[in-house]
Structure formats: structure tokens, C-alpha cells
Amino acid sequence: MKTHGSGIDPVKLDRLAQVAVKVGLNLQPGQDLFLTAPVAALPLVRLIAEHAYKAGAGLVTPMLADEQLTLARYRHAADASFDRAPGWLYDGIGKAFAANTARLAIVGDNPMLLSGEDPAKVARANKANSVAYQPALEKIANFDINWNIVAFPGAAWARQVFAGDAEEVAVGRLAEAIFAASRVDRDDPIAAWADHNAALATRTRWLNGHRFAALHFSGPGTDLTIGLADGHEWAGGAATAKNGVTCNANIPTEEVFTTPHALRVEGRVAGTKPLSYQGTLIEDISVRFEGGRIVEAQASRGEAVLAKVLDTDEGARRLGEVALVPHSSPISQSGILFYNTLFDENASCHIALGQCYAKCFVDGTKLTPEQIAAQGGNKSLIHIDWMIGSGQIDIDGIGADGSRTPVFRKGEWA
């Protein structure tokens, strides 16, 4: 049975809504929920609201975005508009998070929506938005509250991923890929998530037990040493927010991740998958780090946009995250380029430019921003993941004494 000829299985869509509420958010009785989504995702928004209220939610407040409204701004707004953002709105969102409102984002927009627009305007609008959103974003980055991201197979996104297919076929294929990656293609997805979280926890315990001082990545175009922050802690799968709620922030997720030291990254690294960023596909990224900072950056496509990203602020050229994902991960094995970081980052090992996560420190919930910075945590308006893993990448853990321990060989856990 499909919904109204859309190609989307309604049983699996309902399971995705349940997983978002019960596993992704672990929404608590009486807790409010703030939810953002593209208009196309309204069927999933309705199901999530239903399951949230069944779970005892206080108020569910949705905010919908529309692609045509976004394009109207780029085509008709006054130039000064692109240096502004609705700070009053983000102030309100920050207040909601301070009052323990849970946060859920549904992604599903056309990833190339802004590809035909002026990249300078896109960069300006994005920077203004990032500045205005910072007080609210800090509550997410510092893991003050339980939050979650899930995906809906929007038609424009599906046409991008499966360009040769008729729209309904493309939507159906993207839906099935999302459902499989989100583990709702099975009868008991909540049990499947419990098993998956347990497996990721085993990986994080092993890494935390070794307390590596650095990781060394080697492969085609890559000879990179990433020093790890002082007192770093590996995380993956379910984690407990400062409000005491254990949640899965990303659905899907295949990664275990931690915080690099902002000043201790050296060498060269080549991207292994394209990065879809603000409507631009940035391909064949290659950068060189010195003293933790990117001092050279190239890309075969989208290089000008990459340069603008790196100039966002002082922290944009430094790393805020390093994540390990085996090449055999289900998303990698699907062979699909999703043009969406939520999925593509779970296909391979990756690093993130910009803001670090407070939770990736021992007792991170108790550290001040100044303490996090002193231990090597990076601060920035951006957090952009890009993929550096493949079946040809080896990773060694380097101990404080210089000893080397195999972590990955040929893209798999050693």
C-alpha cells in the first residue's frame, strides 16, 4: 500500500515518525517540541505530532519552509536583505530551548535549490543566519536538550538523487533508501535501534579505553595527522543530553566521533565524496593543514564557494569533529550519493570544519566555553561535515608515547 500514488509506504513512514519521537528524541511526558520541516514533508510532520502527543508532549509547534518562498527572496529582495536574519525569531527559539523544549528537524529540501542563485548572496544570507541563530545553536552544540534530525523524501530531492527516473519512481526509491538507512524497514525498528546503539557503544568504549593522542589517516591524496583535544571523549549512537534525556540526535547514524584539537592538525587530506553545500556541489576537495589551520584549499568544482566558507570566521579553517564510519556501512554499500550530509556523512569517515561539540569531552556538560577552548575545542559559526573515508583509507591511533595501534585497515575496523 502506498500513499496516494506518491510511492511512499505509509506503514514505514509511520514507523519513521515513531522512531523519531521514541528513539530520536525520546520525548518526555509534558515536554514541548519545536519542529521544522519543508512543506513537502507535511505527511511526516502530521504523524510525528500524533506520536508526540501520544507520548505525552506538551505543545508541538511546527515551522514550515517553502522552496518557492526561498527563491522569491533571491530573485526579488533588496540587496540589503541578504545581510539580515530574523533575530527576534531565533531569540524566541533560544528561549524555548532554555525552557527544555525538544528540537526536531526534518530535512528533505532540494539540495541544489540555490545552485542557480548568486553565491555571494547565498554566503551573505547564510552568515547573517548563522550569527542570528548562534544563541540557539549553542544550546544544540552544547547538548543542553534532546534533539533529532530525520529525513523525508521530497520530490525535488528525489529527482536530484535519481535523475533518470520518473518522479514517482524516484520518490519511491529515495523513500526506501531513507527507510532502510533509518532502520524502519523491519518489523521492530525500536529493537533494531537498541541493537545498533549497543554496537556503536562498544566501539566508543574501545576508543575511549585507548585514549589516543592523535589519529593518522593515510590513503590516496591523504597523509593527515589529527591531534585529539585534551580530555576528549568518543561518542556514537544514543547519548544523554544535559537535561538527562538519552536520545539519538541523527537518524540515520553509523558514526563514532570526537573532538580534534583545533591547533594540532597537520598534513594533507583529499575528499572522497562531493559536498553538497547551500545549493553548490563542491567536488574533489583537497586541503593542507598547518598548526591546525587550513592553509591551502582546492576543489575541481565549487572552489569559490569553499573559499567563502573558509573565510566565515577564525574557526572555519579549523576542525570541530572527526568521525569514523566503516566503508561497509549500509549507506556506503547502497552506492547512493544523497546530496545530503545527514546521509552522506554516514557513508564514510569524515571531518567537520568549525564548531565542536561540548559532549565530546570528559564531563563536557560541566565545562565552560573557556575550558572547552583551553582543551582544544574549536568555536565557529559553522559546522560542515565532509567525507574523507573510502575502502583505501588506513587509520592508526597514536598514543601519547608515540606508539601506533591499527584502528582502520582498507576502510574497515581493524
| pLDDT digits 0-9 by tens, 376-407 | 999 998 999 999 999 999 999 999 999 999 99
Hey, which residues does 407 pair with through a beta bridge?
Answer: none
pLDDT band at residue 4 under the 50/70/90 scheme: very low
pLDDT score for 280: 83
- Alpha carbon distance 34, 268 (integer Å): 41
pTM: 0.88
Tell me the residue type at 186.
Answer: R
The confidence band for 227, taking pLDDT boundaries of 50, 70 and 90, is very high
Scan for cell 527559539, then name that residue. 93
Strands 239-240 and 383-387 come out as unpaired
Of residues 109, 120, 105, the one with CA closest to residue 63: 105
Supply the pLDDT for residue 1.
43
Asked whether the beta carbons of 349 and 325 are under 8 A apart, the reply is yes
Q: How confident is the model at residue 115, as a pLDDT?
A: 85
The pLDDT of residue 3 is 47
Q: What is the pLDDT of residue 141?
A: 83
The DSSP output letter for 23 is I
- Positive or negative, the CA dihedral 104, 202, 364, 263 is negative
Task: Return mean pLDDT, the chain.
Answer: 95
Taking only Cα atoms into account, the Rg of the chain, rounded to an integer number of angstroms, comes to 20
Per-residue pLDDT of 123-160, as tens digits, reads: 899 889 989 998 898 899 888 999 999 999 999 999 99
The pLDDT tens digits for 94-118 are 999 999 999 999 999 998 898 889 9
Any idea which of 51-55, 277-281, 327-331 has the lowest mean pLDDT?
A: 277-281
Q: Where do the domains of the chain lie, and which CATH numbers do they carry?
A: 10-181 (3.40.1830.10), 212-232+254-413 (no CATH)
pLDDT in tens, 174-204: 999 999 999 999 999 999 999 999 999 999 9
The CA-CA-CA angle for residues 85, 145, 277, to 5°, reads: 45
- In 3D space, the residue among 147, 346, 143 whose CA is nearest the CA of residue 254 turns out to be 346
CA-nearest of 411, 352, 386 to 271 is 386
CA distance 322 to 317: 14
Q: Which three cell numbers stand for residue 1?
A: 500500500
Polymer length of the chain: 414
Per-residue pLDDT band for 341 (boundaries 50, 70, 90) equals: confident
Per-residue pLDDT at 241 exceeds 90:
yes
Nearest of 135, 136, 169 to residue 153 by alpha carbon? 169
User: Cα–Cα distance between 321 and 359 in angstroms, integer?
Assistant: 11
Residue 130 in 3-state DSSP? helix
pLDDT tens digits for range 297-339: 999 999 998 999 999 999 999 999 999 999 999 999 999 999 9
The x, y and z cell numbers of residue 137, run together, are 545553536
